[in-house]
Chain A
Amino acid sequence: MSIRKTRIGRFDFWTLVTIFGYFIVGLLLIYPLFNIFKASFISNETGTLSMSNYVEFFSKKYYTRTILNSLIVSFGGTLGALLLGVPLAFFTSRFKIRGKTFLSTFAVLSLLSPPFIGAYSWIIMMGNNGFLRKFLMTFGLNLPTIFGAGGIILVYSLQYYPFVFLLTSGALSNVDRSLEEAAENLGAKSTMRFFRVTLPLVIPSVSAGALMAFMMSLANFGTPMIIGRSFHVLPTMAYNLYTSEIGENPGLASTVSILLILVSTLIIFFQRYASSRRKYSSNMINKQTVDTLHGVKNLLVHFISYLIVSISTLPLAVVVFYSFKKTKGPVFHPGFGLQSYQKVFHDVPVTITNSLIFSVTAVIFIVIIGTLLGFVMSRKKNLPAKILDPLLMIPYIIPGTVLGIGFIVAFNNKPIYLAGTATIIIMSYFIRRLPYSIRSSASILKQIDPSLEEAGINLGSPPGRTFRKVTVPLMIPGIVSGAIMSWVTAVNELSSSIVLYVGKTMTMPVRIYLSVLDGLFGTASAMATILLVSTGLALFIVNKFLGVGRETIAG
C-alpha cells in the first residue's frame, strides 16, 4: 500500500456526487455563459472576433443609459423594499398585531405572483386613466402615472419588500432581549435604543434581504417591459436585441447580458465585503417578548402594518376582480361574468399541464440533486466541494433572460440540439432553482448532528445507504420546503421561458404575459387567478403542515 495512494483519500459515493455537481455546473452554467461571452466578441457584420459590439454599446447613449436606468430602478426598488420591510418586521415582531399570520401570509403571497401581472394591475389603477389615480384626483391629489422609472420603483418596492420583511423579522426575534434591556438600563430612550442597538444587530439580515431585493429588481424583465415604455433597462434591452437578432449571432444581446452579469457580480461582492465586517454571534438567553400597545400608538402601528400589506396585495386583488368582470370581446363592461374564463378554457388545459409537468419534473431533479449537493456543501470540507459551493450559487446572479439566451446559443448547435424542446425549459428551471434546494438542504443539515451519519457508517452501512436511511428522513422538512419554494418560483417563471418556449411548450406565465402584451387583460387575469390560486394553495399547505418557508426564501 503506497503512501501516495492513501493521500488521495477514498473515492466514495460523495466523490461521485461532487463530480456530478461539476458536470452540472459545466454543462448548464459555464458552457452557456461561455457561449454568450464568445458571442459578445463576434462582430455581427464580419462574423470575426472583435470588440465591435462593445464599441457599439458604449458609443450610443441609448444603450449606455440602460446601465444607469437599471441601477436607478434597482437601488430605488431596494430602498423602497427597505422602507416597507423593516418597519413591518419591527412592528409585527415587537408589538401585538391582530391577524399577524394573515398579514405575513399575504406579504409572502405578493412575492410569489408573476410580477408582470402586478405591473399591469398598476396600469389599471395608476395609468393615465387609472381608477385609483382618478379617484385620488377628486381629492385634489394629482399623482404621476405609473409609467417610467417611478412606477417601476414602486412595483419593485411592493414586490420585493417581503424579502426584507422575512429576513429582518427572523433576525429581530433572535436579538437577545438583555442587550436592549442593557441599553435601557444605561439610559437610552426607545428610539435611540432602536437605532443604536437593535438596528445594528440586525443589519446583516437586513442587508441580505436588501441584496435579494436588489438582485431580483436588476433581473426583472416583465415589469419594465410593461410599464417602462421608453425607459429601458438591461434585461429588456437584452431581450429586445435578442429577438431582433434571432437567427443571427446574438452579438449585442450577449454584450448586454455580459454587462448585466458584471453589474450583479460587482454588487454581490460589494455586499459580501460590506457585511463581512459585521457579524455578530449571539447566545440567546432572554427571548424577545411581544408588547401590547395602547391608544394612538397601537392604532398607528396597526394602520401602517395593514396599509403596507394592503397596498402590496392590491394588484392581486385587481387581477382577481378583473378576471370576474363581464366582458364583451376585449372590452370590460359593468357587472360580473365568466366570459374571461370561458375564453381561456380551450387553452388553459394545455398550458397549465405544461407548466405543471415542466415545474414538477424540474423540482424532482432539483430535490434529488439539490439534496445530495447540499449534503456535500455542508458536510464535506475538501477543496473540490469548497470550490463547487460558490459555483452553484451562480444562478443567483444570472438573470433569467440571460440564461435563456445562453441556453439557446449553447444548445442549438452541435452537438446538442435542444431548442424548442421541453427539456431545455426544464433544464433552465432546474439550474435556476437548484440553489434554493441546495441552500435549504444545507441549512437543515446544520441542525443534524454529523455523528448520526458516522454512527450509521460505523455500523456497517455504506455512505449512500446511510444517507438514505439516516440523513434523508431527518432532512425531510428542509427538503419539502425547498421543493415547494423551487416549485412555486418555477411555476411562475417567465424571464427565461419567454426566450425558450415554442408553441407546444407554452407555459402559464408566458401565456399570461403574451395576453397582457396584446392588451387582453380579461383573459390574462383569468389565467393569472388560476395560477395564483394553485400556488397560493401550495404555499398554504406547506405553511400549515410544515411551518417552513422563511429559511428557504432567505436563501
Chain B
Amino acid sequence: MKRMIFSVLLLLLVSFGVFATAAAEGEAEAQSVVLYSAHTQEIIDALVPQFEAATGIKAEVVKMGSSDVIARVKAEQGNPQCDVIWSIGGEQLEANSDLLQTYEPKDWDKVDDVFKVGHGWLPYTGIVMVFVANTDMLTEAQMPKSWTDLSNSGYKGIISSARADKSGSSYMQLATVLNIYQDKGWDVYKSILQNFVLSGSSSAVPRFVNDGEAAVGITLEDNAYRYVAGGGPVKIIYPEDGTTAAPDGIALVKNGPNSAAAKAFIDWALSAETQSFLVQEMGRRPIRSDVPISPDLPAMSEIKTVPYDFAWSAGSKKDFVAKWTELVQELGL
C-alpha cells in the first residue's frame, strides 16, 4: 500500500518536476533580452542574428500586432516579462508612457530633431504611409492618387488593409484620414472602408497586392518597398492629399527583467550600422542625420506630409477604435 501511494506521489512529482524544468529552461541563460515586436518576421530574421553576433546577447522575440504588444505589456505589469518594445506605432507608446522607462541612448545627438517627439519612448525608424498598387491589374490612370480616390466604388473588394483594432499602422492610416479631413474625416473614412478587404496584419497587405489578390493596398512604405526591390509587379503611391511620416518607436519597459541587455539592444538598434542596414535592405527611413536615405526612395521633400500629433492620436485611440468597430460591424466586414 505504502509503495503504491509512494509511486503515485512520485508520478505526480515527476510530472510537475518535468513541467517545471521545461519551464525553467532558457531562464538559466546568462545574458538575454526579451523583445516584443510588431516587425515583420523577415526583418526579425535578418536583424536578430546580427544583434546576437555584435553583442553576444541572446534575443528572444515575441512577434505580435502592435495592439497585442501593448496589451500584453500592460497585462504583465505586475511581473514584467518584456525588456524592449521594438518597432510599434509611436502613438501606442505615447498613450502608454507609464509602462515605459525613459532612456537616453548613445549617439542621441546624432538623431534628427524632427523625430524627437515621444515621451518615454525613442524614435526607431521613419515611416511613411503609402498606397501600393498592382501594375498588372491597374493601369497608371486606374491607380488611386489620393485617399478620396480610394472611396471610388470601382475599388470595392480589391483594397487590402489591416484591421485598425489589431494593427498600429492601420490605426495610423485611420488617424491620418481624420487628421487630413478633420470634420468630414469619418465620412471620408467610411466611404473608403466599405471598399476594404481586412486582414490581421499590415505586413500581408503588399503580399496580396503582389499576388494579385488585391489591386490596391494601404501599408507602410518599407513593407511595400521590399516587394518593389524583390521585383514584384507593384508600385508605391504617395497620396496627393497628404500622408503621415512619423517615427515608429522603440522603448524600454519599466522594470523589465534584463535592463542592461535591453539598453545594449536599443543602442545597437539606433547605431549607424543598424540604421543603414534598415535603410538599404529594408527600405526604412533613417532617424539619424548621419545615415543617408535609400536612393530608390523619394526624398521627404517630394512627399506631401501633414503634421501628426501623437498626443492627439494616442488620446483618441479608444474612441476611434470603438467607432471603427461599429463601422466594421455596420458594413459587415
* Interface residues of A, Cβ cutoff 8 Å to B: 11-13, 16-17, 20, 60-62, 123-124, 127-129, 225, 229-230, 240, 243-244, 246-247, 327-331, 333, 343-344, 346-347, 357-358, 361, 364-365, 368, 412, 417-418, 420-423, 426-427, 462, 464, 501-504, 506, 511, 514-515, 517-521, 523
Contact = CB atoms under 8 A, between A and B. Distances in A.
A427 B231 CA distance: 45
A422 B4 contact: no
A128 B36 CA distance: 34
Of A61, A123, A240, A519, most buried by chain B (CB within 10 Å of CB) is A519
A464 B7 contact: yes
Contacts of B8: 13, 16-17, 20
A331 B19 contact: no
A109 to B, nearest CB: 26
A344 B49 CA distance: 12
Contacts of A358: 22
Interface in B186-230: 197-201, 203-208, 210-214, 226-227, 229-230
Contact of A330 (B158, B199, B230): B230
Contacts of A521: 207
B298 interface: no
Contacts of A346: 45, 48-49
B40 interface: yes
Nearest to A347: B45
Contact of B230 (A17, A62, A244, A331): A331
Given A20-B8, A503-B60, A421 B23 contact: yes
Nearest to B75: A247
B74 interface: yes
Contacts of A60: 329
Contact of B201 (A16, A123, A244, A518): A518
A400 to B, nearest CB: 18
Contact of A129 (B41, B206, B213, B333): B213
Nearest to A521: B207
Given A230-B197, A327-B230, A127 B213 contact: yes
Contacts of B11: 20, 368
Interface in B255-309: none
A247 B198 contact: no
A417 B79 contact: yes
B109 interface: no
B65 interface: yes
B226 A329 contact: yes
Contacts of A230: 197-198, 332-333
A344 B45 contact: yes
B4 A330 contact: no
A243 B207 contact: no
Given A16-B4, A129-B212, A244-B166, A331 B15 contact: no
B1 A11 contact: yes
Contact of B42 (A13, A427, A520): A520
B165 A523 contact: no
Contacts of B214: 128
Interface string B40-71: 11100100110000000000111101011001
Contact of A504 (B26, B67, B158): B26
A428 to B, nearest CB: 12
B114 interface: no
B70 to A, nearest CB: 8
Contacts of B141: none
B25 A422 contact: yes
Given A13-B4, A333-B231, A519 B212 contact: no
A344 B214 CA distance: 27
A520 B226 CA distance: 12
Contacts of A62: 328-329, 332
A211 B165 CA distance: 36
Given A329-B229, A427-B19, 20 more contacts: A20-B8, A62-B329, A129-B211, A230-B332, A246-B71, A329-B227, A330-B42, A346-B45, A357-B22, A412-B75, A417-B79, A423-B20, A503-B34, A503-B36, A517-B199, A517-B203, A518-B40, A519-B206, A519-B210, A520-B40
B75 A246 contact: yes
Contacts of A506: 62
Closest 4 CB pairs of A and B: A519-B207, A129-B212, A329-B230, A331-B230
B230 A420 contact: no
A146 to B, nearest CB: 10
7 contacts: A13-B4, A123-B211, A243-B65, A246-B68, A368-B11, A517-B201, A519-B210
Given A11-B1, A246-B75, A330-B227, A423 B22 contact: yes
A124 B211 contact: yes
Contacts of A412: 75
Nearest to A124: B211
Nearest to B196: A230
A517 B213 contact: no
B10 to A, nearest CB: 11
A519 B208 contact: yes
B30 interface: no
